Amino acid sequence: MSVVTRSAAPAASPQIRQVTVLRDIFDPVGLDALPWERWEEPGRVGVDLHRLYVTDGTEAGAAMITRMAPGAHGDLHEHLGHELILVLEGELLNDNGDRYRPGDLVIERPGSVHRVSTETGCTVLGVRHAPTRLVS
């Protein structure tokens, strides 16, 4: 996978914008080349992430690529905004019994509560429009 970040000024606008392009995102070899960091949070085990962006403000959103090792799981959480998940590789399990495979696009609505896990390992693209809240 190649990652390209550049500044560009649209022809009709004097404003400069930053553009990041991740090519061949469905290629596991390319995904291995990304800089990964451990996602350390209570209730979360075996999860690494690559942050694409985080927005500012009280309802900060984020986009990330998340890699879960075999047997990994997230925490039980409530969505305060929409979340979009695209499975890139492996299989993601929802605690409601759903199984998501490569190419599956999942949209969690605000107020939904769930916990995800994987038996085999998986990599997903996630976009959150607002943070989540830990459910105990």
What is the share, in percent, of the chain residues with pLDDT greater than 90?
A: 58
Q: State the pLDDT at residue 10.
A: 59
- For the beta sheet containing 113-114, the strands, ordered from the edge strand earlier in sequence to the opposite edge, are 113-114, 77-79, 132-134
Q: State the pLDDT at residue 44.
A: 85
CA distance linking residue 18 with residue 7, whole number of Å: 5
Alpha helices in 9-134 (DSSP H): 28-32
Least confident of 34-48, 63-77, 95-109: 34-48
Q: By three-state DSSP, how is residue 126 classified?
A: strand
Q: How confident is the model at residue 43 (pLDDT cuts 50, 70, 90)?
A: confident
What predicted TM-score, i.e. pTM, was given to this entire model?
Answer: 0.83
